[in-house]
A and B are shown apart, each in its own frame.
Chain A
C-alpha cells in the first residue's frame, strides 16, 4: 500500500483534479497504476518520459501522469509517438491506447509500428468495446457478444491483439489483465526495458458498457471472469485446444532481438558519411550551400 501511495505522490500530476473521467471500478486506473509502477521500478527521470495517447477512455490517461504528455487524435498515438521518439531518442516513449483506438482507426499505424521496431512501448487496454462513445462493438468484441451497435450480437470476429502484433513483427509482445495487476506491471516493465517495439495488451473491464450488455453484474464479476478464463503461457503449453477454448493466455508471447530502428538509422548515417559517392551526391544537392556544408560531419569536409 505504501508503495502505491509513494508511486501516486511521485507520478500523478500535482494540482490535477482527480478523480479521473473514468467510471468507478474501471480497469484503466489499474493499468495506469501498473504503468507507473513499471516506470518507478526502472527509475526513469520524469522529464525523460513521454506518454502519448489517442482518443477514448484510455486516451485520457496522459492527463493525469506527470511526464511529457501528448493526447492526440483518434488512432494516431503511435504515429505521433514515432515523431517524438525519432526527434528525441533519449526519451522513454509509451503509447497508451484502447482497443478501438489501437486496432480499428489506428490499426494501420499499429502494424507498421510493430514492423519498424522503434524502441517504444504500446499499451493496449482492451476492454472489448468503445466505452467513451457508449458501448459500440469494437474490433475486439467477441463474436456473439453485444454492443449498442450490435444489439443482436456481434456477427464479426475479434482481433487477437497479440497474434496481430507478433505477425506484424513486434519484438516484444505480452498480455495480462487488470485482475493480474501485479503481473501487468511487471510485463509493462519488461516491455519498457526491451530494446525495440513492445506491445503489452491488458484485458480490462468496461462494466458500464460491455458488462451491462453482456450479463456481467459488476466490475468484480468481470475481474473474476479474467481470473477464471485466463491461463499462463506456461500452463497453456500443457493444455489442448479444447481446454483452451474461450480462454486467453497471459505472459510473454514473443521476446526477440532485431536491430532497433534508430540504431539502424544511425548506423546507416555513419556508413554513408564515409561513403564518398553518397557524400558527393548530397554535396551536389546542396552544392551552393556553404552554410549547410557546415552541417555535414567534419570528416566529409
Chain B
C-alpha cells in the first residue's frame, strides 16, 4: 500500500464502477435491471441514500436515461448503467443529451449478440453502436476498461469528461470485466482529479447556455432552479436554447457538438503500450480482449515473432496519431475483437495501407484464448 493508493481489496468490476461513480461525485442514478450490469444499480441503490444522493429504478431504459438527463439539468452528477438491449433503447435520449449538451454517463456492460443474444456472455459488439447508435451527426466519447481498477478510474474519467465537454460519455465495459473479481488498490482520494461543469460567473446577467459563435469556449451550464431561466430542447437551437431553422445557426450547432469532441481526439486518446519498442507486428486491442492479447504477445515473442500491443483505453473519438506512427514501424497489424471487425475498420482507415491490417473476430460468446490470437498472428506473418 503506497500513499497514492488505499489498501488492497477484492472488488468486482461492476462494483468498482459504482464506487468510481461515487468517488467522482455522482449523486443521481436511474437505471433498469439488466444482466450483466445490474450490480452497478444495486450498489448505487445501497449507497446513494446514505450519501445524500438519489437512486431510482425507472420503468425502462428510455426512462432511465431521460431521468438522468433531467437530473443533470437540475445540477446533479448523473449516471446510468445497462447492457446491449438497454443501450439500444437509450439511443434516443443519448442523442438528446448530445444536442442539448447535457453531461451524463452511460455504462454499457456489453453482452453477446444482437437482440437478447447471450445475456451472460461477453462481447465487444456495441463499439459502433456507441459511436453511431443515435441518429444524426454527433460525436461521442467512449472509454473501454480492461481491469477492475480501470472500472474505477475510467468511471471517474467518464464523469469528468461528461462534465467538461457537456456531453454523454459511454463506458464500454463487458461481461468479463464487469463480473471479474480482482485484488485492486484503488487510487487514494485526492490523487486524481474530480471535475464539475463550469457555473456561470456570479452576476452574469445575459446567460446563454450554448455557443453563439464558432470556436467559442463551451459556456457554463446553469442548473434549473438557480437564478437563470433558460430553454432546453432537442430541436436545433440558438445560443439561448430556442429553436432555430436559420441555416447558419443550425450548421454551427451541429459542427459545434461534433467539433468540440472530435477536435480533441488526440488529446483524449489514451493507450497502454506493451513491448512495442522493437515490434514489427502490432496487436491492437481493448477491453477484456487486450488482457488476452498481452499473453499472446509473450507467446509470439517466445516463438520468435517481435510482437507488441497497443491497448486503446479511449475508443471514441478514435485517434489515429499513435497508430499512424506505428504503421511506419510494423508490417502487420492484428485487431482481435469480440465482434466481426468493428474497430478494425477504424484501424484500416487510419493506417491507410501503410501496413497489412487483419481483423480477428469472435462472436461465440467466449473470450479469446492467448493461443487463438497468437496462432492467427503466426499464420498472418506466414510462419
Contact = CB atoms under 8 A, between A and B. Distances in A.
Contacts of A80: 66-67, 69-70
A40 to B, nearest CB: 16
A273 interface: yes
Interface residues of A, number: 54
B92 interface: yes
Contacts of A46: 229
14 contacts: A63-B233, A70-B224, A72-B93, A79-B59, A82-B67, A83-B28, A83-B76, A85-B70, A87-B54, A91-B224, A281-B46, A286-B22, A290-B6, A295-B51
Contacts of A287: 9
B190 interface: yes
Nearest to B237: A71
Interface of B: 6-7, 9, 15, 18-19, 22-23, 28, 30, 43, 46-47, 49-52, 54, 56, 58-60, 62-64, 66-76, 78, 92-93, 96, 186, 189-190, 223-227, 229-235, 242-243
The 9 tightest CB contacts between A and B, nearest first, are A83-B70, A291-B189, A79-B66, A83-B71, A83-B67, A87-B74, A288-B6, A79-B63, A80-B70
Contact of B19 (A16, A86, A285): A285
Contact of B231 (A62, A79, A272): A62
A174 to B, nearest CB: 24
B95 to A, nearest CB: 8
A91 B74 CA distance: 9
Nearest to A70: B232
B23 A291 contact: yes
A199 interface: no
A152 interface: no
A47 interface: yes
Given A109-B63, A292-B51, A71 B229 contact: no
Interface string A276-293: 001101100111111110
Interface string A65-99: 01111111100100111111111101100000000
B304 to A, nearest CB: 44
Contacts of A282: 46-47, 50-51
B186 to A, nearest CB: 6
A152 to B, nearest CB: 33
Interface in A5-43: 13, 16
A73 B62 CA distance: 10
Given A82-B67, A279-B50, A288-B9, A72 B234 contact: yes
Contact of B229 (A47, A84, A86, A109): A47
Contact of B233 (A71, A85, A86): A71
Contacts of A290: 6, 189
B96 A272 contact: no
Dominant secondary structure at the A interface: helix
A239 interface: no
Given A63-B242, A72-B234, A286-B19, A83 B69 contact: yes
Contacts of A67: 229
Contacts of B56: 82, 86
A155 interface: no
Given A73-B234, A83-B66, A88 B75 contact: yes
A278 B223 CA distance: 32
Interface in A252-287: 265, 268-269, 272-273, 278-279, 281-282, 285-287
Contacts of B51: 282, 292, 295-296
Given A269-B49, A289-B23, A87 B75 contact: yes
A295 B230 contact: no
B15 A84 contact: no
A50 B51 CA distance: 26
Contacts of B9: 287-288
B50 A278 contact: yes
A52 interface: yes
B23 A79 contact: no
B65 to A, nearest CB: 8
B225 A81 contact: no
B155 to A, nearest CB: 13
Central interface residue in A48, A67, A282, by most chain B CB within 10 Å: A282
B58 A291 contact: no
Contacts of B54: 86-87, 265
A72 B30 CA distance: 17
Contacts of B224: 50, 68, 70, 84, 88, 91
Contact of A68 (B67, B71, B225): B225
B63 A296 contact: no
A143 interface: no
Contact of A83 (B15, B62, B72): B72
Given A62-B231, A83-B69, A87-B76, A272 B49 contact: yes
A108 interface: yes
A44 to B, nearest CB: 12
Nearest to B42: A285
A182 interface: no
Contacts of B28: 83, 86-87
Nearest to B28: A87
Nearest to A81: B70
A269 B70 CA distance: 22
Nearest to A292: B22
Nearest to A50: B224
Nearest to B95: A73
A121 to B, nearest CB: 15
A212 interface: no
Contacts of A214: none
Given A82-B30, A281-B46, A285-B43, 13 more contacts: A47-B229, A52-B70, A62-B231, A68-B73, A70-B224, A70-B231, A76-B93, A79-B63, A88-B225, A112-B63, A288-B186, A289-B19, A289-B23
